[in-house]
Amino acid sequence: MKKLPLFLFCSIQILFSQIDYDPKLIRGATACANCHPTAVSHWEGTDHFKVFSGTDTEPAMHRRPETKEILGKLGMKSAKRGVCVDCHFTTQHLAGKKRARAISGPSCESCHGASGNWIEIHGVYGEDASGGKATRETEIASHKVERLQNADDNGMIRTNNIYAIAKNCYQCHTVPNEDLVNIGGHKSNSDIDFSTWLNKDIKHNFLYSDGKSNRNAPRDFDIAERQKKNKIVGLLVDLEYSLRGYAKATSEGDYSISMKNRIETAISNLTAFESSGGESKDISEALSYVKNISISLSKMDELSITADNVRKIAITYSDK
Ligand code: HEC
Ligand code: HEC
Ligand code: HEC
Ligand code: HEC
Q: How many angstroms separate the CA atoms of 80 and 137, rounded?
A: 44
Question: Closest ligand 4 atom to the C-alpha of 199?
Answer: 18
193: exposed, middle or buried (Cβ count in 10 Å: 0-12, 13-18, 19+)? middle
Is the pLDDT confidence value at 9 over 80?
no
Residues with CB under 6 A from ligand 3: 47-48, 51, 61, 87-88, 106, 110-111, 165, 168-169, 172-173, 197-198, 200, 202
Q: Give which of 166, 174, 185, 294 is closest to 230, Cα–Cα.
A: 166
The full set of domain ranges for the chain reads 12-112, 118-154, 160-320
Q: How many angstroms separate the CA atoms of 176 and 172, rounded?
A: 8
Question: Closest ligand 2 atom to the C-alpha of 189?
Answer: 15
- Residues 48, 245, 69, 15: is their CA dihedral positive or negative? negative
Residue with CA at minimum distance from ligand 2 atom 15:
190
State the pLDDT at residue 12: 59
DSSP string covering 134-182: --TTT--HHHHHHHHHHHHHTT---TT-HHHHHHHHHHHHT---HHHHH
User: How sure is the predictor about 240, in pLDDT bands with cuts at 50, 70 and 90?
Assistant: very high
Question: How long, in residues, is the chain?
Answer: 320
Name residue 291's amino acid: K
Is the pLDDT confidence value at 4 over 60?
no
* Whole-number percent of the chain with pLDDT over 70: 96
List, for residues 103-151, the tens digit of each pLDDT value. Answer: 999 999 999 999 999 999 999 999 999 999 999 999 999 999 999 999 9
* Distances in whole angstroms, Cα of residue 85 to Cα of each of 17, 251, 297, 306, 311: 7, 25, 29, 29, 26
Residue with CA at minimum distance from ligand 2 atom 6:
84
Residue with CA at minimum distance from ligand 4 atom 1:
111
